[in-house]
Amino acid sequence: MSDEKKDLGDKAEDAFDKAKETAKDLGDKAEDAFENAKESAKEFSEDAKESAKEFSESAKKAANEFTAGAKEAFSGNGGENKKMLAGILAIILGSLGIHKFILGYQKEGIIMLVITLVIGFFTCGIGASAMGIVGLIEGIIYLTKSDEEFYNTYQVGKKPWF
């Protein structure tokens, strides 16, 4: 029986050694996987930072382009842009006189706004309707004139009505 016990002890010791080696191999594999995951996370982080930087730069570029376009549209230099902007605003929001403010006619814009809001309130919208028709007519006139004619009439000549 002692030989059997010795064989069983050797077998148990061999099994324990194999289990130790297997555990060590698993630990090494886990450590390698952890290192790979760390490297992947680091690469992903760097890629995300680079993508965010590129997005930031493109957003800044787009914002600068928009700002330049808006400045051109609202400045005195862009006659075509003022013509289109004033014409479209006159057709859509003509009763409020916004197109007059765009062209630099503050007094006429205030007159249209007061007629629309104050007199329109007391006349149940008749004043607002009248200013809406005036705005519609002016918008059509603005958009049908040539660029040169519009510039000479409304920006140089300062013709406030029709």
pLDDT of residue 92: 92
pLDDT of residue 74: 53
pLDDT of residue 49: 87
Question: Is residue 129 predicted with pLDDT exceeding 70?
Answer: yes
pLDDT of residue 58: 81
| 138 contact partners, CB below 8 Å, separation of at least 6 | 90, 94, 99, 161, 162
pLDDT 10s digits, 7-42: 777 777 887 788 788 888 888 888 888 898 888 888
The phi and psi torsions of 161 (rounded to 5 degrees) equal -125, 140
pLDDT of residue 150: 87
Q: Extract the tokens encoding 70.
A: 């808006």
Average pLDDT on 120-129 reads 88
pLDDT of residue 139: 93
**Cβ neighbour number for residue 12 with a 10 Å cutoff:** 10
pLDDT 10s digits, 48-96: 888 878 887 887 888 777 777 666 655 555 445 688 999 999 999 988 9
